[in-house]
């Protein structure tokens, strides 16, 4: 194997780095696409950590927003769990 690398002309490593770089870019694009399709880029996710006990620490607008976000997250979770259950039931 070492003899193979020695017989290659000078400058072959740049092509290796180009291929590896292209693979990294493709992987990053795939994961960004996956995140966008699976609701991972939600700017309101910070409101999920609050509960009813935090109402006195928040303005009324922020508290209402946190309740809306939590309700949307619960509905999303129920939807995803129902889809998973349907997939398992179908044997996919």
- The domain segmentation of the chain, as residue ranges, is 14-90
pTM confidence score: 0.58
Q: What are phi and psi of 75, to 5 degrees?
A: -65, -40
The pLDDT assigned to 19 comes to 96
Q: How confident is the model at residue 26 (pLDDT cuts 50, 70, 90)?
A: very high
The pLDDT assigned to 92 comes to 60
Render pLDDT for 40-91 as a digit per residue (tens, 0 to 9).
887 777 777 777 888 888 888 988 888 888 898 889 889 989 988 998 888 7
Assigned token pair, 28: 């990053």
Residue 32 has pLDDT above 80, yes or no: yes
Query: First and final CA of the chain: distance in angstroms?
Result: 43
């Amino acid at each position: 194997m070492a003899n193979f690398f020695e017989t290659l002309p000078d400058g072959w490593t740049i092509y290796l780095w180009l291929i590896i770089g292209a693979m990294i870019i493709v992987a990053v694009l795939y994961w960004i696409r996956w995140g966008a399709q699976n609701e991972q880029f939600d700017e309101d996710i910070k409101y999920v950590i609050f509960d009813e006990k935090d109402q006195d620490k928040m303005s009324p607008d922020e508290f209402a927003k946190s309740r809306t976000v939590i309700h949307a997250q619960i509905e999303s979770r129920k939807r995803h769990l129902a889809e998973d259950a349907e997939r398992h039931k179908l044997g996919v």
